[in-house]
Amino acid sequence: MKFLDQAKVYIRSGDGGAGAVSFRREKFIEFGGPDGGDGGRGGDVWVEAVDGLNTLIDYRYQQHFRAQTGVHGMGRNRTGAKGADVVLKVPAGTQVYEEDNETLICDLTEVGQRFLIARGGNGGFGNQHFKTPTNQAPRRANPGLPGEEKTIWLRLKLIADAGLVGLPNAGKSTFLAAVTAARPKIADYPFTTLYPGLGVARIDAREFVIADIPGLIEGAHEGVGIGDRFLGHVERTRVLLHLVSAQEEYPGKAYKVVRGELEAYGHGLAEKPEIVALSQADTIDAATRKKKVASLKRAAGRAPFVLSAVTGEGVEAVLRALMAEIARAREADAPKAADPRWERERS
């Protein structure tokens, strides 16, 4: 299945049904009178986070969504039925933006959350509403109100506890494959990882989700390489695991390159808790390892972990460090009060 994390969609809610012009015409009833029913409301357009999705690929093949028009009113005071709603089903972590792709409409972070993004038009009044003492037989009714139409952007940001960052070929995908059941593509050339990947890691009977994104290179914030487009997928993480390959000639410099890109991107990534590790340690000898650990320590300002996803060296220690940061962040997260907009739209 292909990965798509951004889609442009046109939506239109349903128009309201028109009111009816009708009169009672019954045998043996001397006085009839207006009995035109009201039109039904047009269908609404909702967006809902559902389980089992991790991409917006469905919206590559269909970009237009229209809710049904309300049924017109009928005689005998019969109100038309409401038009059928349209529900855009998206993965948890999807944000909905206005057409300018900057104004946030809603952020669906949990499965089951729904938000009304276009309300259907109200149905028109039938002629029964226009009867007055001086106009006993009104021959007018209201048309239904038009629905709303707009173009929106859907933008997916994966929900994960820990995010992997580093230069290309830093061993991120190998680490993800070693500690989770994920099977990312692994090869010895830059940008093997083209799309973000998710995996569930387990340590000491506790689980957390890891997100792997394509590698960053110097100038990524200006679009160099794959750019920083996929950094949005680690915005929601509680901790970053920064891997620096032991095959780098200057690990300290490699570390600073990625840190510079995180700071240039912004959105709070540079302030997130960070675990630093020298990866692929099995590829160098003890003397070289000591030298490169010292270089990375000077750049990061703290002693890095040393690990090899191939041999398993240091992997458990890194997982425990990640789990400790995640547990600390989970405890600090206060329960969020319900947004009254959401409750209103659900009713």
Domain for residue 342, yes or no? no
Q: Please tell me whether residues 151 and 204 are part of one structural domain.
A: no
Domain for residue 237, yes or no? yes
Count of structural domains, the chain: 2
Q: Please tell me whether residues 79 and 14 are part of one structural domain.
A: yes
Tokens describing residue 176: 């993800």
Report which of 22, 38, 36 is spatially closest to residue 124, judged by C-alpha positions.
38
Domain for residue 17, yes or no? yes
* Percent of residues, the chain, with pLDDT higher than 70: 95
Is the model's pLDDT at 345 over the cut of 80? no
Tens digits of residue pLDDT in 315-338: 999 999 999 999 988 887 645 444
pLDDT at position 2: 67
Domain span at 47: 1-156
Q: Please tell me whether residues 62 and 167 are part of one structural domain.
A: no
Task: Kindly compute the dihedral angle of the four CA atoms of residues 247, 252, 253, 257, in this order, to the nearest 10 degrees.
Answer: 100
Report which of 308, 60, 24 is spatially closest to residue 178, judged by C-alpha positions.
308
- Looking at 121, 156, 191, which one is the last position of a domain? 156
pLDDT at position 337: 42
Q: Please tell me whether residues 183 and 138 are part of one structural domain.
A: no
Q: Please tell me whether residues 199 and 315 are part of one structural domain.
A: yes
User: Whole-prediction pTM value?
Assistant: 0.80
Q: Please tell me whether residues 152 and 246 are part of one structural domain.
A: no
Domain for residue 209, yes or no? yes
| Mean pLDDT, range 40-62, rounded to an integer | 93
| Mean pLDDT, range 221-233, rounded to an integer | 78
For the domain that residue 230 is a member of, what is the CATH number? 3.40.50.300
Cα–Cα distance measured from residue 252 to residue 232, given in angstroms and rounded to the nearest whole number: 25
Match 């017109």 to its residue by tokens: 72
Cα–Cα distance measured from residue 96 to residue 120, given in angstroms and rounded to the nearest whole number: 19
Least confident of 102-106, 302-306, 340-344: 340-344
Domain for residue 172, yes or no? yes
**Phi, psi angles (nearest 5°) of residue 274:** -135, 135
CA distances from 340 to 58, 64, 85, 103, 286 (A): 30, 29, 22, 19, 60
**Phi, psi angles (nearest 5°) of residue 232:** -60, -25
For the domain that residue 28 is a member of, what is the CATH number? 2.70.210.12
Q: Please tell me whether residues 216 and 133 are part of one structural domain.
A: no
Is 76 exposed, middle or buried, given 0-12, 13-18 or 19+ CB atoms closer than 10 A? Answer: exposed
Q: Please tell me whether residues 75 and 151 are part of one structural domain.
A: yes
Q: Please tell me whether residues 137 and 22 are part of one structural domain.
A: yes
Computed on alpha carbons and rounded to an integer, the radius of gyration of the chain in Å comes to 29
Domain for residue 20, yes or no? yes
**Phi, psi angles (nearest 5°) of residue 256:** -65, -30
Domain for residue 341, yes or no? no
Tell me which of 109 and 332 has the higher pLDDT.
Answer: 109
At a CB cut-off of 8 Å and minimum separation 6, what does 291 contact?
none
Report which of 241, 213, 214, 245 is spatially closest to residue 323, judged by C-alpha positions.
241
Match 């969609």 to its residue by tokens: 9
Q: Please tell me whether residues 180 and 271 are part of one structural domain.
A: yes
| Mean pLDDT, range 34-51, rounded to an integer | 95
Q: Please tell me whether residues 204 and 267 are part of one structural domain.
A: yes
- Provide the greatest CA pair distance for the chain: 110
Q: Please tell me whether residues 107 and 2 are part of one structural domain.
A: yes
Domain for residue 30, yes or no? yes
Tens digits of residue pLDDT in 65-108: 999 999 999 999 999 999 999 999 999 999 999 999 999 999 99
Tens digits of residue pLDDT in 192-215: 788 888 899 999 989 999 999 888
Tell me which of 336 and 223 has the higher pLDDT.
Answer: 223
| Mean pLDDT, range 229-244, rounded to an integer | 90
Mean pLDDT of the chain: 89
Cα–Cα distance measured from residue 8 to residue 6, given in angstroms and rounded to the nearest whole number: 7
Cα–Cα distance measured from residue 111 to residue 91, given in angstroms and rounded to the nearest whole number: 8
Q: Tell how far CA 318 is from the center of its chain.
A: 28
- Looking at 106, 123, 156, which one is the last position of a domain? 156
- Looking at 98, 128, 156, which one is the last position of a domain? 156
Tokens describing residue 1: 């299945």
